[in-house]
């Protein structure tokens, strides 16, 4: 799997996205129809979020050790054009905040022609020592994307 570890918006979409990761479809991710299984796109999104968090200086493992867990509260998924074995693709990310929710907007494009393959909206909330709350660490890491809106 190919990926980037720093925020790298594409030239054509630089104002739309704050992060992207390049990856490649592996054969075992495909179903009998020869296309990426629908559940795999959730894994692509999660991997993109984890790379994004690392680029912001956050580690899921370290945050968990501090008692802070970002958990998925809701997902909305749209499948557009299927990916196939060996396709390279670009997983792009936008981030908004709605109250205590961090909303990750995922768009996955096939690299060869920039066709949109998948759109996902993933809402995360933070549990602080098991209780729903706001995380200063996450807010601080994302401040450059939200400004004073946090």
Predicted pLDDT at 55: 95
Nearest alpha carbon to residue 107 among 25, 2, 13, 7:
13
pLDDT tens, position by position, 70-123: 999 999 999 999 999 999 999 999 999 999 999 999 999 999 999 999 999 999
Residue 135 phi, psi dihedral angles, 5° rounding: -105, 120
User: Is the pLDDT score of 5 beyond 80?
Assistant: no
64: helix, strand or coil: helix
Q: Which residues contact 39 (CB under 8 A, 6 or more apart)?
A: none
pLDDT tens, position by position, 39-48: 999 999 999 9
Q: Which residues contact 64 (CB under 8 A, 6 or more apart)?
A: none
Tokens 């759109």 label which residue? 119
């Amino acid at each position: 799997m190919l990926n980037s570890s720093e925020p790298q918006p594409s030239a054509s979409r630089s104002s739309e996205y704050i992060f992207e990761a390049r990856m490649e479809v592996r054969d075992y991710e495909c179903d009998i129809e020869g296309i990426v299984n629908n559940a795999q796109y959730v894994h692509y999104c999660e991997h993109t979020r984890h790379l994004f968090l690392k680029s912001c200086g956050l580690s899921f493992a370290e945050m968990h050790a501090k008692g802070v867990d970002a958990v998925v509260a809701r997902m909305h998924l749209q499948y557009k054009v299927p990916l196939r074995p060996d396709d390279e693709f670009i997983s792009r990310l936008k981030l908004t905040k709605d109250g205590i929710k961090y909303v990750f907007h995922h768009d996955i494009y096939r690299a060869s022609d920039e066709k949109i393959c998948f759109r996902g909206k993933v809402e995360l909330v933070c549990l602080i020592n098991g209780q729903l709350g706001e995380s200063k660490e996450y807010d601080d890491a994302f401040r450059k994307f939200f400004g004073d809106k946090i």
